Structure 1
Amino acid sequence: MMNEQIILQGTTLEALVQLINEGVKSQLEDFKKNLNTNDPDILFTRAEACEFLKIEQTTLYHWVKAGKVHCYGIANRRFFKKSDLLNSLTLLKK
């Protein structure tokens, strides 16, 4: 939650409406980014794959080197399919 304070004294109605609109727009943009996560063929960059799996980049590097995760490349860029990342997960016994 934001720790910014808004003082409404001396604020016009238009300024308040504009401020609310900006807040709602930023929330909607974040929502739209997370909305497209159901597509299994979506490509992730290294950083996005690490964020998705909640791991460090060194861990991802070791998993790729060990063959646990597949990556695709164009020039010197590496990409990871969401479906491959999900398929690399294994069920652990209780």
Structure 2
Amino acid sequence: MKKEGIILIKGTELQDLINKAVAMAFENVCLADKRKAKTVETLLSRNEASKALKISLSSLNRRVNDGSIKCYKIGARSFFKESELENLLILLNK
């Protein structure tokens, strides 16, 4: 059977224990927030994407339909991630 008892400690020792526990908890919360933090993606409209890629809107539509460029729909509007378009340009220029 487990014995329970009272431990006597000084007020300063108790304060140190509490400070350490709070500091560890705060550090864990900060680390969790950093893991959850997401980078903000810049979304481009169809017109902006076609200008960035230096292609016409019809060419952009053709590339979306054949799957070579990924498109994100929000309602009836189409958007493109700027980072994905940059990566596509890098691949094409190699």
> TM-score when scaled to structure 2?
0.51
Aligned length: 55
SS at the partner of 1:88?
helix
Aligned: 1:63 with 2:63: yes
Cα offsets for 1:29-78 (capped at 9, x unmatched): xxxxxxxxxx9821100000011111100100011111111010111000
Residue equivalent to 1:46: 46
Q: Which runs of 5+ in 1 are unaligned?
A: 1-38
Identity %: 42
What corresponds to 2:5 in structure 1?
none
2:79 counterpart of 1:72: no
Structure with greater helix percent: 2
Larger radius of gyration: 2
Structure 1 residues 56 and 91: CA distance shift in structure 2, 3 A: closer
* Distance verdict in 2 for CA 1:40–1:62, change over 3 Å: farther
Task: Give unpaired runs (5+ residues) of structure 2.
Answer: 1-38
Q: Is the 8 A contact 1:71 1:79 kept in 2?
A: yes
The runs of at least 4 aligned residues of structure 1 exceeding 4 Å deviation read none
